[in-house]
């Protein structure tokens, strides 16, 4: 029923039941020791009250069945039994102890306001019972004693209930966090797959636009040279062969660039500085460029930052080889105060960054995207005597 608390499914029923049985046992033991020998004619009725109270308390979960009306009926019957026990025979004031377990149960099984109402009913019953057993003011000490016990058990039960609710809420939040973590891992995997697919598509376009086209041109030039040779025009054949040689060298250079753009294992194994050095040795040194290298070994860089900086460096070095007509380059990687700095300089012909960016050429947009992904600051300065590309990434 709406508003009914899930009592024993969310708490430990054994603890509350053991405490309740201990209080019941104290009442039953005192009655047995002090009054059984008096052979009171209604002692069987008192024993029945005690046994009935215990049976209802033990099987209260089955009786209530998560029903608020049943809970009120249960508490009402138990209250009637206790009041009957207190008023049935003189000096049975200690029967008021049995209200204490009911106070704890009320806090667990009913909404807060209705539970407090029952605590008020129990309190009134205790006052009436004690002042009936002992005339005013003799009954006041017992009244205050039993009321204090009732309020303590009720407040303690409230605290237990709140702790239990907090635990349930924490478990729910933990489950939600675990689900969210699983979803994030799934999304991260999907994003990585998309990034991989995007990179493969880009490399495929590069292969088609540069290497494949160049190889097709070489085929045409070779066929033309074969025809000239067959016709005895050796001078023109020499020109064709020279063009074929130059085209083949450009194709070899572009192929090396594309191969290196695939993430080298050295980046994972030895870090960014080693990957940059491997790139310069495998590509630039074979292309005749003189390189000044100042690479500081940087440890514990996030993998994403390493990949981003290497991608920017590759794009910048590719532009130098393809467009700058440079003879010297300078590559530096260093750690400054609170930041990592990658700088690449050349002595080439330079370009206008604004116009190139508008046309979308030279991979500037790609470099900017990579810099944004790692929260880096990309700076490009180009003049007629060379270009400087500088990337700064926070190291905090």
pLDDT tens by residue, 73-94: 999 999 999 888 888 776 777 8
For the cut 60, the answer to whether the pLDDT of residue 11 exceeds it is: no
Token pair 């009914």 is found at: 4
Average pLDDT over residues 281-290: 80
pLDDT tens by residue, 244-262: 777 777 776 666 666 655 5
Residues 99, 34: contact at Cβ < 8 Å? no
For the cut 80, the answer to whether the pLDDT of residue 325 exceeds it is: yes
Residues 125, 23: contact at Cβ < 8 Å? no
For the cut 90, the answer to whether the pLDDT of residue 132 exceeds it is: no
**Greatest mean pLDDT among 157-166, 193-202, 230-239, 264-273:** 157-166
**Can you give the pLDDT at residue 55?**
92
For the cut 70, the answer to whether the pLDDT of residue 213 exceeds it is: no
Axis crossing angle, helix 234-261 with helix 140-206, rounded to the nearest 10: 170
Average pLDDT over residues 336-354: 88
Average pLDDT over residues 142-162: 85
**Domain residue limits, the chain:** 1-262, 265-396
The fraction of the chain above a pLDDT of 90, given in percent, is 12
Bridge partners of 340?
335, 393
**Greatest mean pLDDT among 158-162, 216-220, 328-332:** 328-332
The fraction of the chain above a pLDDT of 70, given in percent, is 81
392: confidence class by pLDDT, cuts 50, 70, 90: very high
CA–CA dist 99, 226 (Å, integer):
112
9: confidence class by pLDDT, cuts 50, 70, 90: very low
139: confidence class by pLDDT, cuts 50, 70, 90: confident
CATH 3.30.56.10 is the classification of domain 265-396? no
For the cut 90, the answer to whether the pLDDT of residue 343 exceeds it is: yes
Instruction: Look at the pTM and tell me if it is higher than 0.75.
Output: no
Here the contacts of 63-66 (C-beta below 8 Å, separation 24 or greater) are: 64/7, 64/109, 66/1, 66/4, 66/6
**Can you give the pLDDT at residue 209?**
59
User: 286 vs 272, which has greater pLDDT?
Assistant: 272
Per-residue DSSP letter, 342: E
Q: Give the pair of three-digit tokens for residue 283.
A: 């590509």
**Can you give the pLDDT at residue 305?**
85
Q: Give the pair of three-digit tokens for residue 396.
A: 């905090």
pLDDT tens by residue, 177-188: 888 888 877 776
Residues 351, 323: contact at Cβ < 8 Å? yes
CA–CA dist 44, 323 (Å, integer):
110
**Greatest mean pLDDT among 170-184, 195-209, 235-249:** 170-184
Average pLDDT over residues 221-230: 74
Average pLDDT over residues 150-172: 84
Average pLDDT over residues 274-288: 81
């Amino acid at each position: 029923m709406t508003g009914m608390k899930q009592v024993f499914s969310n708490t430990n029923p054994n603890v509350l039941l053991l405490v309740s049985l201990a209080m019941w046992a104290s009442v039953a033991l005192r009655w047995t020791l002090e009054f059984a020998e008096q052979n009171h004619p209604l002692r069987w009725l008192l024993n029945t009250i005690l046994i009935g109270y215990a049976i209802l308390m033990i099987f209260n979960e089955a009786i209530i069945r998560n029903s608020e009306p049943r809970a009120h009926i249960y508490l009402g019957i138990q209250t009637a039994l206790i009041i009957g026990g207190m008023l049935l025979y003189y000096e049975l004031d200690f029967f008021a102890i049995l209200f204490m377990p009911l106070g704890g149960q009320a806090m667990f099984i009913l909404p807060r306001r209705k539970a407090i109402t029952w605590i008020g009913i129990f309190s009134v019953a205790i006052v009436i019972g004690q002042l009936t057993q002992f005339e005013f003011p003799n009954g006041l000490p017992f009244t205050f004693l039993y009321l204090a016990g009732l309020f303590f058990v009720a407040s303690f039960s409230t605290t237990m209930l709140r702790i239990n609710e907090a635990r349930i809420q924490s478990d729910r939040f933990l489950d939600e966090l675990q689900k969210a973590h699983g979803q994030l891992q799934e999304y991260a995997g999907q994003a990585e797959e998309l990034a991989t697919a995007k990179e493969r598509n880009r490399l495929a376009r590069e292969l088609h636009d540069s290497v494949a086209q160049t190889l097709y041109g070489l085929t045409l030039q070779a066929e033309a040279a074969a025809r000239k040779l067959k016709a005895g025009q050796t001078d023109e054949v020499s020109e064709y062969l020279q063009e074929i040689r130059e085209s083949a060298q450009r194709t070899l250079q572009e192929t090396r660039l594309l191969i290196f753009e695939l993430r080298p294992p050295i980046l994972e194994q030895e870090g960014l500085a080693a990957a940059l050095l491997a790139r310069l040795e495998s590509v630039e040194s074979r292309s005749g460029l003189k390189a000044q290298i100042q690479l500081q070994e940087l440890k514990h860089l996030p993998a994403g930052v390493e990949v981003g900086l290497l991608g920017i460096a590759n794009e910048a070095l590719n532009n130098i080889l393809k467009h700058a007509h440079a003879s010297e380059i300078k590559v530096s990687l260093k750690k400054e105060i609170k930041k990592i700095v990658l700088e690449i300089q050349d002595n080439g012909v330079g370009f206008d960054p604004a116009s190139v960016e508008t046309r979308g050429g030279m991979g500037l947009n790609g470099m900017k995207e990579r810099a944004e992904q790692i929260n880096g600051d990309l700076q490009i300065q180009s003049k007629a005597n060379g270009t400087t590309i500088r990337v700064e990434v926070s190291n905090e």
